[in-house]
Chain A
Amino acid sequence: MEGLRNDGRRWNELRRFHCQLSTSSTNSDGSSYIEQGFTKVLCNITGPAEPSSRQKVKQDSATVSCEVYFAAFSGTDRIKRGRNDKKVQELQTAIQQTFSSIILTHLFSRSEIAISIHILSQDGGTLAACINATTLALIDAGIPLKDYVCACTAGQSTSIFDSEGTSPDPWLDVNYLEESDIPSLTVATVGDSEKIVALTMENKVRIERLEGMIAVGVSGCAKVRGIMDKEVRRHGKEKLEARGE
Chain B
Amino acid sequence: MPPPTPLSPPELSYLYTSLSLTPPIRLDLRQPSQFRPIIAECSFLPHCNGSSRICMTEAGECIVGIKAEVEKDATTKYATVIEREKWIEVSVEVAGGGVAGAGSGSGGGGGGVGIGGISGAGGATGRDEGDGGAAVWLKEGLLAGGGGAGAGWSILDRLVISSGWHWKLYIDVLLLTPTSHPSPLLLSTAVNMALSSTYLPKLTSPHDIDDIPTFSDDWAISTPLYEPTSFPKPPISLPVVAVGDNVFLDPSVAEVAAAEAGLVITLSLVDEEGSCDVVGVRSMEVGRAGGKEGERKGIGRKLLREMVGACVKEAGEVIKGLGETTQKQMFRA
Which residues of A are interface residues toward B (Cβ below 8 A)? 24, 26-28, 38, 40, 42, 44, 67, 69, 71-78, 80, 83, 116, 118, 120-123
Given contacts A42-B176, A83-B98, A118-B176, contact A26 B45 (CB under 8 A): no
**Taking the complex as formed, is B58 at the interface, i.e. its CB lies under 8 A from any CB of chain A?**
yes
> Chain B interface mostly helix, strand, loop or mixed?
strand
Residues of chain A contacted by B47 (CB below 8 angstroms): 38, 73-76, 121-122
Question: Which residues between 277 and 315 of chain B lie within 8 Å of chain A, taking CB atoms?
Answer: none
Q: Which 4 A-B pairs have the closest CB atoms?
A: A73-B65, A27-B177, A72-B172, A24-B61
Given contacts A24-B61, A83-B98, A120-B45, contact A73 B51 (CB under 8 A): yes
Beyond known contacts A27-B177, A78-B172, A118-B63: 5 more, CB 8 A cutoff? A26-B55, A72-B65, A72-B170, A73-B47, A76-B47
Interface membership of B327, Cβ < 8 A: no
* Distance from A200 Cβ to chain B, minimum over Cβ atoms (Å): 24
A24 B67 Cβ-Cβ under 8 A: no
Cα–Cα distance between A80 and B172 once the two chains are bound (Å): 10
| A121 to B48 Cα, complex, angstroms | 9
Interface centre among A38, A74, A75, A122 (most CB of B within 10 A): A74
A74 closest partner in B (C-beta): B47
Instruction: State whether the Cβ of B241 lies closer than 8 Å to any Cβ in chain A.
Output: no
In B40-70, which residues have CB < 8 Å from any A CB? Answer: 44-48, 51, 55-58, 60-61, 63, 65-67, 69
Most chain A CB within a 10 A radius of its CB, from B47, B96, B172, B180: B47
Within B78-125, the residues touching A (CB, 8 Å) are 91, 93, 95-96, 98
In the complex, 14 of the A-B residue pairs with CB atoms within 8 angstroms, ordered by the A residue number, are A24-B60, A26-B180, A44-B177, A67-B96, A69-B95, A69-B174, A71-B65, A73-B66, A74-B45, A77-B69, A78-B170, A80-B91, A116-B96, A121-B47
- Minimum C-beta distance from B50 to chain A (A): 10
Which residues from B are CB-within-8-Å of A75?
A: 47
